Structure 1
Amino acid sequence: MAGPLTGVRVLELGSFIAGPFAGQLLADYGAEVIKVEPPGRGDAMRRWGHTLDGESLWWPTIARGKRSVALDLRDPDAREVLRALTAEVDVVLENFRPGLLASWGLDHATLSKEHPGLVMVHVSGFGQTGPRATDAGFGSIGEAMGGIRHTTGDPDRPPARAGVSLGDSLAALFAVIGTLAALHERSVSGLGQEVDVAIYEAVAALMESTLADHVLAGVTRGRSGATLPGVAPSNVYPTSDGSGVILAANADPVFGRLATVLGRPELASDPRFADHQARGRHAAELDALIGDWTSRHPAPALLEVLAGAGVPAGQIYTAAEMLEDEHYRAREMVLHLTNAAGHLVPSAGIVPKFSRSRPDVPVPGPALGAHDDLLASARRRARSAPSGT
């Protein structure tokens, strides 16, 4: 079946994670994504992470559903082909350093003269304007400047990082949101526009009330390990089988249900725990009570009891648990893609799910230049274009 973005054509320029992950999501939703790669080695993501038989295990996923064409954009002739190709697409998605496309005469202001409906989506470390616009910026720098590194980890240790490329992925999500918003606006105005995503801003947008807390409450959020100060119970609790269970019962009605499950219904009216603020002040006492109970039961039994009582809880999963979980299977959250070497590569499913315009299972990332035939019409137009255009 066709995905909801069927009929939208996207030209993906750039490499690494932020831009290509946005391209992956657009392809997941049915857009035709044409990825431009340098001849010879292609996108660096073809070699990143763990490899098997010379191919990255990441590549089948981050390039899934895309088409690959090879163009050396350092070559002026190749840039003319790219210019002609932009006339055939709705969206140009790029994550080069700001200013590079303009130096090649491939900026939005130039391209939109011939293609006024073109949407150009930029993903960069610091955005297209401002004093640091042209500085090199990776996801880790965006995570630091966006504030999330300062709040991640244990309070007695230096800032930690998530185990995935969080800054890049957040920027990709905002790039997709911006693309969809610009395409919707174009359906009204008939005009394209530029979408400017900065990685540090994508991170900062998730930082809740940290700015207001600092200015108006005099509180600068810091690192608090597995808990959020003032929010209880919401922590990782021990189990008798050695695994951990996360339990979140910080809302008053939910805490009442948890107290009943604990066999201590009186806790719900105890002044120390009777409301959100009180539980926050006495979080350590409450965690000790809950931990004493959870440590006497294995995780599966705990999860069954808590689910039956309507108390949100979940086990901390590794990849092994994700692959085995029946809910993951029921929701088709593990796809299996056959890569170029013939290996079956597990891949995260498409998010969100669509009730009617449901996309097909994507094909894995293509071989470099596998779809160079898509350049044929662009090459003809580039050859016939007047000199200097």
Structure 2
Amino acid sequence: MAAPLSGLRVVEVSAFIAAPIGGMTLAQLGADVIRIDPIGGNIDYRRWPLSPEGTSLYWTGLNKAKRSVALALNRPEGQEIARALICAPDEKGGEDAGILLTNLPASGWMSHAALSAHRPDLIMLRLIGNPDGSGAVDYTVNSAAGFPTATGRGEEPVNHVLPAWDIAAGLYLATGLLSAERTRRRDGRGQEVVLSLADVAFASVANLGYVADVQVNGAVRPPMGNELYGAFGRDFPTADGRRVMIVAISNRQWRAIGKVTGLAEKLAMIGPMLDVNLDEEGGRYEARHAIAAVLAPWFARHPLAEIARLFEGSGILWGPYQDFGQLVREDPRVSTANPMFAEIDQPGVGRILAPAVPLAFSGTPRPEPTPAPRLGEHSDAVLAEVLGLSAAAIGKLHDAGIVAGPEER
């Protein structure tokens, strides 16, 4: 069966996380995503972590399933080839091509105005930093979004290492691209779609209720460590020095905690003592410290493996704290037992576990994960296939330093 986005061609000119994730998501769903990089690689090409051979595990992780073309983008001849690839029609007349995804400064030859002069129905997805066009990255947006001051246990802000806004922006870019492509199919109109990284973050803050909480209640969420805001949830140390997170949102989950631990009667006493309703999320949140005091000794007496055995099938929401090593070595969800994962041979890295797209479609088999390309691996094939250039013409471009093939390590 054809993959969901089979036949769609997207040209990506990007760096770092957001746009590459958007492009990779489309590629893993079957789109032909052609990533164009300058010869030698863009600014993200050797970003840490690296394999022993010096290959970026970061770059290869974010560019799976794409095709790679390396061009001298600092020269007019390379820019002209990139423009031709972006604006070239597909074999059916152009409906599935003429799409550019970028998070780089789109000026000069790569501006929407310049490109749409060659292809009026061009679709261009462009990620910027702030809504006014000034620069921003995930770290600078996150610092202003309020979450670091609500993270941790004290007054000092704590940044998380997850680039949440980059990831969310990448998925917004993919969604926006498909929306624009659907619009073009309906009325033939191309367009430029601009997404601000800051807008992604601040929309999320508002969607989660934190903006309204300030406006309506005058409340600013304080740092609470690992406690769950508005319900009962927190971490507990175990007998063997591990930690687990436990959450009770529904009454069923709350009752399951009391049943499995044998502490239902003691927990029930907390409500009348503190004059709170433990059948409501808010009541359990207000009584969180008393609840934790009752539960903590139970977790301290049980090792992680025993907790896992007791909790299995109980309806309790819980999870162990794991570092990346424990995640890879111990968690079956990050293994070939999970159909999303398979082992691939990644050039410059070796044999590794890699995920396909997390989506599972009932009418389409989940595709196997595909390695990221070597830089310039598909230069010749793409120029021949999309632009119809002969081998002799491509050879001349190589000789002139306009095009580069796969980098050999």
TM range, smaller chain: 0.7 to 0.9
| Match of residue 278 from structure 1 | 283
Please state if 1:317 is matched with 2:322: yes
Residue 343 of structure 1, CA deviation? 1.3
Between the aligned partners of 2:64 and 2:353, the Cα distance in structure 1 is 12
| CA deviation profile, 1:9-56 (whole Å, cap 9, x unmatched) | 1100021222112111111111111011111x2133331112221211
| CA deviation profile, 1:144-179 (whole Å, cap 9, x unmatched) | 23333332222x142112223222222112111212
Percent identity (aligned)? 29
Question: Would you say the 8 A contact 1:10–1:33 is kept in 2?
Answer: yes
Q: Is the partner of 1:34 in helix, strand or coil?
A: strand
Between the aligned partners of 1:2 and 1:33, the Cα distance in structure 2 is 16
Cα gap change, 1:144 to 1:65, in 2 (>3 Å): same
| Match of residue 160 from structure 1 | 158
Between the aligned partners of 2:324 and 2:250, the Cα distance in structure 1 is 30
Q: Is the partner of 1:347 in helix, strand or coil?
A: strand
Letter in 1 for 2:183: E
Q: Is the partner of 2:293 in helix, strand or coil?
A: helix
Between the aligned partners of 2:344 and 2:42, the Cα distance in structure 1 is 19
- Which of 332, 339, 345 in structure 2 is aligned with 1:338? 345
- Which of 375, 397, 409 in structure 2 is aligned with 1:368? 375
Please state if 1:33 is matched with 2:33: yes
Residue 226 of structure 1, CA deviation? 0.8
| Match of residue 91 from structure 1 | 99
Structure 1: unaligned runs, 5 residues or longer: 384-389
Please state if 1:197 is matched with 2:203: no
RMSD between aligned residues? 2.4
Within-5 A mapping of 1:169-188:
169-188=167-186
Letter in 1 for 2:353: P
Give the ranges of 4+ consecutive aligned residues of structure 1 lying more than 4 Å apart after TM superposition.
Answer: none
Structure 2: unaligned runs, 5 residues or longer: 89-96, 394-409
| CA deviation profile, 1:246-273 (whole Å, cap 9, x unmatched) | 1111322321221222223333473343
Letter in 1 for 2:357: I
Between the aligned partners of 2:98 and 2:143, the Cα distance in structure 1 is 34
| CA deviation profile, 1:111-147 (whole Å, cap 9, x unmatched) | 33443332211112114xx2xx1x2221111212333
TM-score by length of 2: 0.83
Between the aligned partners of 1:351 and 1:285, the Cα distance in structure 2 is 39
Between the aligned partners of 1:303 and 1:186, the Cα distance in structure 2 is 51
Question: Would you say the 8 A contact 1:252–1:274 is kept in 2?
Answer: yes
Question: Would you say the 8 A contact 1:230–1:283 is kept in 2?
Answer: no
TM-score by length of 1: 0.87
Q: Is the partner of 1:15 in helix, strand or coil?
A: coil
The farther-off stretch of 202-211 and 320-329 is: 320-329
Within-5 A mapping of 1:285-300:
285-300=290-305
Question: Would you say the 8 A contact 1:2–1:360 is kept in 2?
Answer: no
Letter in 1 for 2:160: A
Between the aligned partners of 1:304 and 1:195, the Cα distance in structure 2 is 50
Letter in 1 for 2:326: E
